[in-house]
Amino acid sequence: MRSALTLIGLVVLTVLALGLDYGLGQLAFVATWAVAGLGLVIILGQSGQISLGHGAFLAVGAYLQAGWVAMGGPALLGLAVALAGGALLGALASLPGRRLGGLAFGMSTLAVALIVEEALVRFGGLTGGASGLSVPPMTLAGWAVVDPLHQCAVSAAVLALALMACRRLLNSRLGRAWRAVRDDEGAASASGVDAGHAKLLAFAVGGALGALAGALYAHWLGYLSPEQFGLHLSFELLMLVFVGGASRLMGAVWGAVVIVALPQAIALLRDTLPDGVANMAGLELVAFGLVLVAVVLWRPAGLVR
């Protein structure tokens, strides 16, 4: 209840501070990133595995949605297609690490992400290649979602559905299996939990949520290019979960608030600096790195708490 009130307060504050349209647009992004964060919370926090290439799932969702809408498919069904595509890629990406667990998942998801990024550039006929691809606005039963308010409403609805679905999953047999595998894989296996299966499903669910977020992102941004989904995005999502906390689902929402607010804060900070310093290239990289390092050093056990 308290977190719900804080959330409402935050929404009001954002809209007041940034103006109606811009504020709502930013909130749409917060809700979208939170959906992607939920997937990582399940992989990292619930089942205790690691994904270093989560950007690839968003990329697959975004490009599937863009392709589907371009072919004239209804956007809502496109979200389902993206969901399925993400789940499939998540399951596939987890296969090589299945027997080893831990870091091997990190390595296999990293490899899949780098391969996906290269494939997006290489198959330019389908994806627009490095020069990018524009995506039409989302239309739901003849209603075009272009207004920031409507985008925000759609994202919030998707986030709410995703949260409810995740909550149900965590209270199900599968959710218990994930936590058992996370806490002690050997004991879980000895108690009849199929650990390999549980890990595979964690990556499938995580990939599906990532792709769902990617599909929304494609519409909100209206333009896709492969470098949006590179290693940097994967690490931003990891930071999101680290900041928000991986032990609970709402962590994804809080983390998303921080991740969307961070570039704005850096831009604001930049305005206060003298011109000579503010115009230096690479300042954003330094600032982002500094925040990341500070957060990790401040709370090295961010994940477990």
Partner 1 sequence: MILQILLSGIATGCIYGLVALSFVLVYKATEAVSFMQGELLMVGAFAAVALTAAAGWPVWLAVAVAVAGMALAGALVERLALRRAMGQPHLTAVLLTFGLGLMLRGGVTTVPAATHSAHQLPLPGLMGQVEIGTLTVSLAHLGVIAATVLSCAALAAFFRFSRAGLALRACSENPRIAAMMGVSTTGMHTLAWALGAALAALAGILMAPVTFVHPGMGVVALKAFPAAVIGGMHSLPGALAGGVFIGVAEALAGRYLPEGANHVTAYVLMLVALLCFPRGLFAGRAT
Which residues are at the interface with partner 1 (CB under 8 A)? 44, 50, 52, 95-97, 99-100, 102-104, 106-108, 110-112, 114-115, 118-119, 121-122, 231, 235, 238-239, 242, 280-293, 296-297, 300-304
CB of 192 to partner 1, least distance (A): 25
CB of 172 to partner 1, least distance (A): 25
Instruction: Compare residues 26 and 108 and give the one whose CB is closer to partner 1.
Output: 108
Euclidean distance between CA atoms 115 and 119, whole angstroms: 6
Instruction: Compare residues 204 and 238 and give the one whose CB is closer to partner 1.
Output: 238
CB of 302 to partner 1, least distance (A): 7
Instruction: Compare residues 73 and 102 and give the one whose CB is closer to partner 1.
Output: 102
Q: Provide CB contacts within 8 A for 221, sequence distance 6+.
A: 135
The structure tokens 């027997």 sit at 99
Instruction: Compare residues 24 and 188 and give the one whose CB is closer to partner 1.
Output: 188
Instruction: Compare residues 104 and 170 and give the one whose CB is closer to partner 1.
Output: 104
264 residue type, one letter:
Q
CB of 150 to partner 1, least distance (A): 35
Euclidean distance between CA atoms 176 and 169, whole angstroms: 9
> Per DSSP, which regions of the chain are E strands?
133-134, 138-140, 143-145, 223-224
CB of 254 to partner 1, least distance (A): 17
CB of 13 to partner 1, least distance (A): 28
Instruction: Compare residues 156 and 292 and give the one whose CB is closer to partner 1.
Output: 292
CB of 124 to partner 1, least distance (A): 10
Contact 220/151 with Cβ under 8 angstroms? yes
The CA distances from residue 235 to 51, 239, 259, in Å, are 10, 6, 11
Instruction: Compare residues 21 and 284 and give the one whose CB is closer to partner 1.
Output: 284
Instruction: Compare residues 81 and 303 and give the one whose CB is closer to partner 1.
Output: 303
Euclidean distance between CA atoms 112 and 231, whole angstroms: 11
CB of 15 to partner 1, least distance (A): 31
Coarse DSSP helix, strand, coil percentages of the chain, rounded to the nearest 5 percent: 75, 5, 20
Q: Alpha helices of 71-194 — where are they, by DSSP H? A: 75-94, 103-122, 124-127, 148-170, 173-183, 185-190
The CA distances from residue 296 to 238, 240, 280, in Å, are 11, 12, 26
Phi first, then psi: give them for residue 143, nearest 5 degrees. -100, 115
